Amino acid sequence: MRFVDIINKKREKQPLTTEEIQFWIDGYVKNEIPDYQVSALCMAIVLNGMEPREISDLTKAMMNSGEVMDLSSIEGIKIDKHSTGGVGDKTSLALMPMVSSCGAKVAKMSGRGLGHTGGTLDKLESIQNFNIFLDDDAFAKQVNDISIAIIGQTAQLVPADKKLYALRDVTGTVQSIPLIASSIMSKKLASGADTILLDVKYGDGAFMHTPEEAIELAKTMIQIGKDCGRDTRAMITDMNQPLGHAIGNALEVKEAIDTLKGQGPKDFTELCYTAGSIILQQAKIVNDEASAREMLEKAVEDGRALNKLKEMVQAQGGCVDQIDHPERLPQAKMVVEMRAHKNGYLDQVKALALGTLAMKLGAGRATKEDPINYAVGIVLNKKVGDSIQEGDIIAYVHTDEELSTEWIKEFYETFLILPEPVSREPLIYQIL
């Protein structure tokens, strides 16, 4: 089999066979096929797409390119959730303790942040001494003992995706539903959970720019899950403004703690309850959404949800005192109040630009090697639809250095204030 023939075949819009896809992935992982040939094939896929069978074959080949987790030693239905990434997306920090406190088994592997999207692992590591590295036996034991563990992906998990993603990132081939879907689902399937809930985001701060694109991606991933025998469902959610108020690692941990106390932002709380209701049904703990929601609200109200976060932090070596006293989480040297320059109604908060501005403060990485400053970030005081008076505080910037004139200019450009009232779009567009 010659790889150039595979490139030519996809260039001519023909489907690749299962054997050709396996040849590609095996050869690339073994360094037998060069980057320049694989990038040519990826571009052909971007332009010509793949059929559902091809996408499933690609996902399975990638999934089996390295270690596949065996979670059979964990009792019960193992649940997992994945977000396609956004600004202020700290959902796992609140949602996973909520559902775990209701009896769901959370065996979750998460990633780091890059660019404007934050990573769950970076947020957890803003808690002093929190250990994201557990071996397979310790991971399974913790989930059996306390029903929850969130850890980093092992280096042996889906090596094909690590190589492919790095290549796609520098060859203009990231924006492709077959390649995005197979990348996400190969990691989720290799992580070994029985059920997967996908939070597929669209808008300014997301990979998918429209609800229609997000729905197409979600349906593709649901089909892959079905082909692999996993209960896979999806939420389509709006990322045209940051989720919740906080952007930045320790700031988002604090907001997750507030949410577990029942004091979180309305949009973030609603997302957690809606996602949690789906997960509890996937875990067969309840049969309907109303019962699930009531169970989640009660777990927050009586403190079980917050206690579950503390149990996980303690089990993974973290400082529980910082959960009880969030003011002891990393703190920036100064907090700058950003005030409105005119009256009106907030029509737009550009999520991507705010995420990038937080990264420039040190809250995120421009490259994988960049260090993270856990303390810095932005906390919004106004959301789309809110009325604003000149002089109102629209955000608090937590920073270790004086803000430059250019940074401040870019910050104000992310907000659009109009004279007339504006409507709020629903956060949850559709559930599939």
10 is known as an active-site residue: no
187 is known as an active-site residue: yes
Q: Which of 57, 80, 122, 161 is catalytic?
A: 161
Q: Which of 183, 186, 191, 277 is catalytic?
A: 183
> How many residues are given for the chain?
432
Q: Which of 108, 187, 230, 350 is catalytic?
A: 187
161 is known as an active-site residue: yes
Q: Which of 10, 60, 78, 82 is catalytic?
A: 82
Q: Which of 60, 78, 168, 201 is catalytic?
A: 168
Query: Which residues participate in catalysis according to the annotation?
Result: 82, 161, 168, 183, 187
